Chains A and B, each alone.
Chain A
Amino acid sequence: MKGSPSLRDADHRLRRLPDRPAPGEAEAADRAWRVVEAAYAERPPRTPRRRTALRLALAAAIVAVALAAALTPAGAKVGDWIEQRLASDADTAAPAFAGLPEGGRVLAIGGDGAWVVYPDGDLQRVGGFSEAGWSPRGLHVVGVRGRRLEAATPTGTVKWTVTRPRDVHRPAWSPEDGFRVAYLEGRTLRVVAGDGTRDHRVRRRAALVVPAWRPRGGYVLTYARAGGQIETVNADTGRRVWARRPAERPTALAWTPDGTRLVALSADRLSVYDREGRPVLDRPLSGARALALHPSGRRAAVVVAGRGGTRVLTVPLSARRPAAPVVTGLGRVQGIAWSPDGRRLLVASRDTDQWLLVGRGRRVRPLSGVSGEFGAGAAFPGVAGWCCPLTR
C-alpha cells in the first residue's frame, strides 16, 4: 500500500483483524445457538412449492446464460474483478455533500427512494419511498410507496408497515413523543400509532396537503379539507377543535414549535392563526409554492414563483415587517429546509443541480453536482427534511 508508514501500519494491522477473537465469542455462540434453535423449532411449517415447467425452463435458461458467460473471453469479467479489488484504495475526492454543516442529517428524495445525507458527505438509502419525513428525534423515517406506509430506521431497516387498499401520501410524524403518524389514503385522513398499530380513519374528504401536528398537548392535528377549509381535530377521538374557511385553499400547513401559531400557505397568501384558530396575520404573497417554518417559530421561508424566476423569501410571522428575499433567480425548487439550529436554509435547486446553503448575511454556498452523488443518471434529489444532530 502506498502512503505514509502510519497508513501502511494501520492497513497491516486491520488485515490481522480476522485472526483476533472478540471478547466472549465462544460462550456467546452456545447461548445464541440455543435461542436460534428454539426459533427454528417454532417457525411455521413450510408451504410446499410447485415445480412447474416454467421453473424448469427458467433453470435451463440460467444454465445457458452461465455457460455463455463462461465461454466468452474472460477479459471484461476479469477486468471488473480486478477493478473492484483494486478500488479498495479509496478515492479521496470530497463528496458534494461534505459541505453540509455538522449538527443534522438531511432527508432527500431522489428518483429511487429516500436517502439520508450525513454532514461528512455519506449517503444512506432508507427505502424506495416517493415521500418521506423524519420522526421527531430522527431515529426513524416514515415513508410511502404505493399503497404502503412504512417506518424504517435511517439505515433502511423496516420497523413496521401499514398496507391500505389505495395509494397513500403525505405522511407526518407527530412531534415530541412521536406516538402518532398521520397520512392520507386517497382523500381520507388516517392516523396510526408510532409503532404501526391502531390505524384508523379520522376524516374523509381531505385535500392533498401534509397534515400539521399541533405541539404541546394531546394528539391534535390540522389538515386541509377538499373544500378549502382548515380543520383542527383530535386525532384519537375525532373531535373537532376548530375550523376556518380561509380566503384561498391552503397548500401547506405548519404549527410553530410552541404550538401557539398555525401558518397556512396558499397560492397567493400566507396566513397565521392562533391556537384557537383566530386569524392573526394575513399577508399577500403571489406565487407562493412551498413553506419551511424556522425552528424559532418566528419566521418562515417561502418559495415564490414569478416572472423573474423563482425566489426564496423569509417572511416574519408576528410583525408586519416586509418579507426579505434570500435567493433569487432560481429555476425549479424541489424542497427547502432549515437546519436544526436554524442558522442555515437549504434550498434544492433542480435546474442547476445544486443544493444551496444560505447562511448568515444571506451568503449562499452551493453544493454542486448533487445528482451525481446518487449514482450515474440519478434523478435530482429533493429535500424532504433536515433533522437532529447525531453522535457518530
Chain B
Amino acid sequence: MVTLPAASGVATRFAAASRLRERRLVREAQRGSAEALEVLFRRHWTGAYRAAWVVMRDAAAAEDVAQEAFIAAVRALDRFDRRRPFAPWLHRIVVNRAIDAARSRALRREVDAAAAADTPADPPPEPLSDDLAAALAELGPEHRAVVALRYLLGYTPGEIASLLELPRGTVNSRLRRALDRLATLLGEDET
C-alpha cells in the first residue's frame, strides 16, 4: 500500500492560497497582462517539460510538445473557466500531445524501416543518463504518461483517469504494469 504524507492544515491552507493566486493570474492574463502569463508560464513550464520528456525521451521533442501545449493554452485562454485549476488543464494537453507524438514517431520509424532503408528517420532517443531513465525508456508512451502524471506531477489515479478520459481500472493497471516492469528492469541492472 502506498502511503502519502497526510495533508496538514497548513499545507491545505497553502494550497488554497496558491489556487487563489493562480486564479488571479489567469484572470489578469485573460485581460491582457503578459507579466501574469509569464508567471504562469514559469510556474508550470518545468512540470510540463519534464512530463513531456518522460513520455518522449527526447529533449527537442519534449520542448516542442510543451511549447505547443502552452500555445494551445494561450489560444484557449479566453474560454478557460477560472474556477477550474490551470495545471490539470495544461497537463492534459501536454500528456495527450506527447503520447500522440511518441506513437506517431514509432509508426513512422516502422514505415520508414519497411519502405526505404535510406530515408532519414527520426533521430534516435537521447542517451539516457541513468538506469531509472533507461528503464523508463522500456515502457510504452501510455505507461510513461501515467508514471509522469502520478509520480512527477502528483495526480491520484482518479485524477489521471479524469485527465486522460480513461477508466480508473485502466489507469490502475497501467500503473501496476509500469511499476512491475520497472522493478524487473531495475532488479536486472543490480544483478
Contact = CB atoms under 8 A, between A and B. Distances in A.
B147 interface: yes
B141 A392 contact: yes
Contacts of A94: 173
A85 B151 CA distance: 13
Interface in A27-57: 28-29, 31-33, 35-37, 39-41, 43, 46-47
Contact of A22 (B50, B78, B99): B50
B166 A154 contact: no
A373 B167 CA distance: 8
A17 B49 contact: no
Nearest to A30: B45
Q: Is the interface of B mostly helix, strand, loop or mixed?
A: helix
B150 interface: yes
B45 A40 contact: no
Contact of B166 (A4, A24, A86, A123): A123
A155 B2 contact: no
B111 interface: yes
B160 to A, nearest CB: 10
A1 B59 contact: no
Q: Is the interface of A mostly helix, strand, loop or mixed?
A: loop
A33 B71 CA distance: 10
A36 B42 CA distance: 11
B88 interface: no
Contacts of B2: 1, 11, 86, 88-89
B182 interface: yes
A84 interface: yes
Interface in A123-150: 123-125, 137-139
Interface in B101-149: 103-104, 106-107, 109-111, 126, 129, 132, 135, 140-142, 147-148
Contacts of A88: 2, 4, 150, 156-157, 175
Interface string A135-176: 001110000000000000111110000000000000000000
A308 interface: no
A15 interface: yes
Interface in B142-191: 142, 147-148, 150-152, 154, 156-159, 164-177, 179-180, 182-184, 186-187
Contact of B157 (A47, A90, A373, A390): A90
Contacts of A32: 41, 45, 49, 63, 66-67, 70
B179 A40 contact: no
A91 B182 contact: no
Nearest to B53: A22
Contacts of A374: 167
Contact of B186 (A10, A23, A29, A137): A10
B183 A7 contact: yes
Nearest to B160: A88
Interface string B59-94: 100110011001100110110000100000000000
Contact of B156 (A13, A35, A85, A392): A85
A284 interface: no
Contacts of B186: 6, 9-10, 13
A177 interface: no
A13 B59 CA distance: 21
Nearest to B40: A36
A72 interface: no
A154 B103 contact: yes
B9 interface: no
16 contacts: A6-B184, A9-B183, A10-B179, A22-B49, A33-B38, A36-B67, A36-B71, A43-B78, A84-B156, A87-B157, A90-B179, A120-B177, A123-B170, A138-B107, A153-B100, A155-B164
Given A43-B78, A391-B110, 17 more contacts: A7-B179, A14-B150, A17-B50, A17-B54, A21-B50, A23-B129, A29-B49, A32-B49, A40-B74, A46-B30, A87-B168, A91-B172, A121-B170, A122-B173, A137-B107, A138-B107, A153-B100
Interface of B: 1-4, 29-32, 34, 37-38, 41-42, 45-46, 49-50, 53-54, 59, 62-63, 66-67, 70-71, 74-75, 77-78, 83, 96-97, 99-100, 103-104, 106-107, 109-111, 126, 129, 132, 135, 140-142, 147-148, 150-152, 154, 156-159, 164-177, 179-180, 182-184, 186-187
Interface of A: 1-4, 6-7, 9-11, 13-15, 17-18, 21-25, 28-29, 31-33, 35-37, 39-41, 43, 46-47, 62, 84-95, 118, 120-125, 137-139, 153-157, 373-375, 389-392
